[in-house]
Amino acid sequence: MAEKYYTVTWDQLHRDAKALAWRLLDRGPWSGIVAITRGGLIPAAVVARELDCRLIETVSIVTYDEEAKGAPRVVKTPAAAGDGSGWLVVDDLVDTGTTARVVRALLPKAHFATVYAKPAGKPLVETFITEVSQDTWILFPWDTEPQFIAPIARSAVK
């Protein structure tokens, strides 16, 4: 199966993160937000602003080296979040669920929300905005620069 790329702009990410906040509004109030670094930092900031939440923690799990997946490694745990009761965990994407499983083990009672979800990881989150296919690599705005791209029809295999 060929891998596809989906580019997310800053504007789109902001709109999608704000939509996530709308979905989460009635599920609170939240004791705080745990952002999964690095990808969850910006969506968590948008969600925190929209939900008027000032207490932000981070959890750092390293699972990717560029596009290559590796064994998950916990770099930092969220000290104030305890078992996650009343806390909201925010990430940009749930892909295979590797990171989500590690975070769920650390914060089993937290509510897990992502902006984007792939089929393999979707069962691990309670709330998300957009589902993308498993073979799609999302290019987030912090990983890209604007440049010309040929039309899809020119690059399609015929």
Residues that constitute the known binding site for 5-phospho-alpha-D-ribose 1-diphosphate: 38-39, 91-99
Q: Which of the following is catalytic: 16, 92, 135, 143?
A: 92
Q: What is the 3-state secondary structure (H, E, C) of the chain?
A: CCCEEEECCHHHHHHHHHHHHHHHHCCCCCCEEEEEECCCHHHHHHHHHHCCCCCEEEEEEEEEECCEEEEEEEEECCHHHCCCCCEEEEEEEECCCHHHHHHHHHCCCCEEEEEEECCCCHHHCCEEEEECCCCEEEECHHHCCCCCCCCHHHHCCC
Q: Which of the following is catalytic: 11, 52, 91, 135?
A: 91
Q: Which residues contact 16 (CB under 8 A, 6 or more apart)?
A: 8, 43, 115, 116, 129, 130
Annotated catalytic residue 16: no
Count Cβ atoms below 10 Å from residue 117 Cβ, excluding itself. 24
Residues that constitute the known binding site for Mg(2+): 92
Q: Which of the following is catalytic: 65, 95, 135, 143?
A: 95
Residues that constitute the known binding site: 38-39, 91-99, 137-138
Annotated catalytic residue 95: yes
Residues that constitute the known binding site for GMP: 95-99, 137-138
Catalytic site residues? 91-92, 95
